Amino acid sequence: NSKLRHVEKDVLIPQIMRDRAKELCSDKVQAFTKCCQETGLLMVVKCRQENTALKDCLVGYYSDPLFYEECKTEYLKQREEYRATGIKKKRQKITSNV
């Protein structure tokens, strides 16, 4: 049964989208984080370019219908495995050591 509840459509699938988008935009996340760490209180002014690049990357994924469908398929697969086994699988986060 692939019918989605409200919480699945509005909370659980968007959470997968956010996590995956952060992984896919990790270079921009790192650039923004590094800029903020280096500039301190002036980050609002000095890190504008990095912040814009990060937002553009994330929004690009959030507004992509194919990306939504990929994340929905991933969620449904996780839900099916959970229903079959009763074991909740934690999403592995991809981290890069740069």
- Residue 27 is part of which domain span? 6-73
The residue behind tokens 């990790």 is: 26
Measured from the Cβ of residue 88, the count of other Cβ atoms closer than 10 Å reads 9
Q: Is residue 31 within 8 Å of 53, Cβ to Cβ?
A: yes
Which of 86, 85, 72 lies closest to 4 in space, CA to CA? 72
Q: Is residue 64 within 8 Å of 20, Cβ to Cβ?
A: no
* Residue 41 three-state SS: helix
Residue 40 lies in a domain: yes
Residue 23 lies in a domain: yes
Residue 86 lies in a domain: no
CA distance 69 to 59: 16
**pTM, to two decimals:** 0.76
pLDDT at 97: 43
| pLDDT tens, the chain, 98 aa long | 568 999 999 999 999 999 999 999 999 999 999 999 998 888 888 999 999 999 999 999 999 999 999 999 999 999 999 888 888 776 555 544 44
> Looking at the 3D structure of the chain, how many domains does it have?
1
Residue 94 lies in a domain: no
Residue 88 lies in a domain: no
